[in-house]
Amino acid sequence: MEKVLLVIGDAAEVTDTLYPYYRIPEDGYEIVVAGPEKRVYHLVQHDVHPDWDITVESKGYNFASDIAFCDVNADAYLGLVVSGGRAPEYLRYDEDLMQITQDFAAAGKPIASVCHGIEILAKAGIIEGKTVTTVAKCRYDAQVCGATYVDEPVVVDGNIVTARTFHDNTEWMREFMKVLNAARDAKESH
């Protein structure tokens, strides 16, 4: 069974995390959750309130990682999913995660990112020259790192599939599963 790595940390968005966590195994993949350490993390949920300029964050579920970034061998995985929420704000400084992300990109493996997850792809230097989407307030991260930002529910550019927010999860995972399944089919035919 092919494995897919799901990146989380404290303040990862609950819907950004749980939707791919349950959707990807439906196509026969094992999902492995990775964080800075192998431990329980605190997910958060984001809500829009008409009297706030930004989303309101509240406590979500506790969610355990299966493996620490330092113990991940990218060769053992077919795809990478980067959850959103505020976690990417600090995860992008984790050198092990940067190496993992760069290894996936160098191998042309499928990579999915939603919302603030673009901050990890941007810091890893893998979106230069790519067209991506993300939550509008993170468009600067994409643009300053050489990507073209578009405000669309999902964008596929080669092996990278990006989405704006959890409101786009259906489109995001539909497109990511096409890329992931094509990679699995190509691997099996060799």
Q: Which of 46, 49, 116, 167 is catalytic?
A: 116
Catalytic residue flag (residue 116): yes
Give the CB-side neighbour count of residue 119, counting CA atoms within 13 A. Answer: 21
How far CA 116 is from CA of 38, 83, 159, 184, in Å, comes to: 22, 8, 18, 27
Q: At what angle do helices 14-23 and 169-188 cross, to 10 degrees?
A: 40
161, 178 contact by CB (below 8 A) = no
Active site members: 116
